[in-house]
Structures are given as C-alpha cells and as structure tokens.
Amino acid sequence: MKPLHAVLLVCVLFVSCHSTSYITSLNSTPYGVDFNKGKWYLNTLDVPIFSQDKHTEYVVKELRESLGDRLLAPEDAGYKSVFFVPMKPETVMLGELKLLTGCDYFINIKSDSPKKEMGPMLIGEVYSTMKNVTHVYFEVYDLNTQEVVFEKLVTASITVEEDDNSLSFVSSENKMIKGALKRILKDL
C-alpha cells in the first residue's frame, strides 16, 4: 500500500486545477427584477450552439420558479426565436416584439469568448501566461415602456501563469457560461 500512497502524493503535487474567477458588474438597479406581474418572453440564448439547449433548459428552469407559466420560452412557442434580437435592440424592434409575442417583458442573454488560449488540459511547461475569458450579458426590457429594467455582465476567466510545469485542468467555456448564469440569476 505504501507505493500507492507515494504515487498518489506525487499526482497531487504535480496536478493542478485552475479555478475560474468571476467579475460581476454592478446591478443596473438596486431593487432587482419584479417578477410579480406581466408575461415574459425569453429570447433564444446567443451562446455556442453545442451547449445552447443545455443552457436554455437551465435558465428556463430557474426562471419558471419565479414566473411559472407566465414565462414564454422558445420551445413553448414552437420555434427558436421570433427573429434575431441583438443586445441593446432599437425601440422599433422592441415594439415589434411586443406585437408579435404579446409579452410585457423581454429577456435577452448572450455570451462571447474573446480569449480562448487553452484547451481543457495543459501538459508540460507553459512558456507564456495563458488565459480563457468568457463574457455573459443579461438584459431585461419592459416592452410596454421599451426601456431596460435590468442589465448585468459577468466575466469569467482562468489564467495559467508562465512557467507552470504541472498537469493543469481548466474549466471549459461551457462551465464558465453556466457559472456566470448562476451568478446572474441569483442576483435577480
């Protein structure tokens, strides 16, 4: 058994897991979002296509706890989206959304990853600092007044420093997006 303990000790010393750090913007309103009234429309999430269904399912589950059947999710409508709605849409587009969906509020979620310098595992020496960064944007619009009632940005990042010789495991973009969504939904 002693050789097994030695092998485990060596593995623990040379294997490194790098944790994700999250930076959260200030809430656009100190009061959060009032879920007590109105019908809500969740736009198709603008996240990587390979994880879109998984993230949408998570967001719908979390929002249904507060909204119940007043949430209109993309799969409820039988289509993925009314049409592409960018972040910070123009008031004309918000007016069209109100007419097409009949909803009072509109939720728009987008992610992007400006830096992807690492895969899920690094083996050997790192000769320069490497970083993965993912941003998740969350907006809620009142379609009756066509104004933003809540917006938030969470930035997730992982850094592996230069001269790190260990076997390193790094969170995937998918996990970083999910962690950012958890932080945003907790603040609602």
Write out pLDDT tens, residues 111-154: 998 887 676 666 656 667 778 899 999 999 999 999 999 999 99
What whole-number distance in Å separates Cα of residue 84 and Cα of residue 69? 24
Does some domain include residue 1? no
Does some domain include residue 71? yes
Please give the backbone phi and psi of residue 131, each rounded to the nearest 5 degrees, phi first: -145, 140
What whole-number distance in Å separates Cα of residue 122 and Cα of residue 169? 7
Look up residue 86 and give its amino acid.
P
17-42 pLDDT per residue, tens = 678 889 988 866 766 788 889 999 99
Locate tokens 């728009």: which residue?
108
Average pLDDT over residues 5-18: 51
The rounded Cα 75 to chain-centroid distance in angstroms is 19
Does some domain include residue 7? no
Average pLDDT over residues 44-62: 92
Does some domain include residue 9? no
Instruction: Assign 104 a pLDDT band (cuts: 50, 70, 90).
Output: very high
Does some domain include residue 4? no
What does the DSSP 8-state code read for residue 63?
H
Please give the backbone phi and psi of residue 118, each rounded to the nearest 5 degrees, phi first: -135, 150
Does some domain include residue 8? no
Give the up-direction half-sphere exposure of residue 123: CA atoms within 13 A in the CB hemisphere: 0
152-183 pLDDT per residue, tens = 999 999 887 776 666 767 788 899 999 999 99
CATH number of residue 63's parent domain: 3.40.50
Does some domain include residue 10? no
Segments forming the whole domain that contains residue 137:
15-187
State pTM to two decimals.
0.83
pLDDT at 12: 45
Strand 71-72 versus strand 105-116 pairing type: unpaired
* Structural domains counted in the chain: 1
Token readout for 132 is 């993965």
Token readout for 41 is 């429309």
Does some domain include residue 5? no
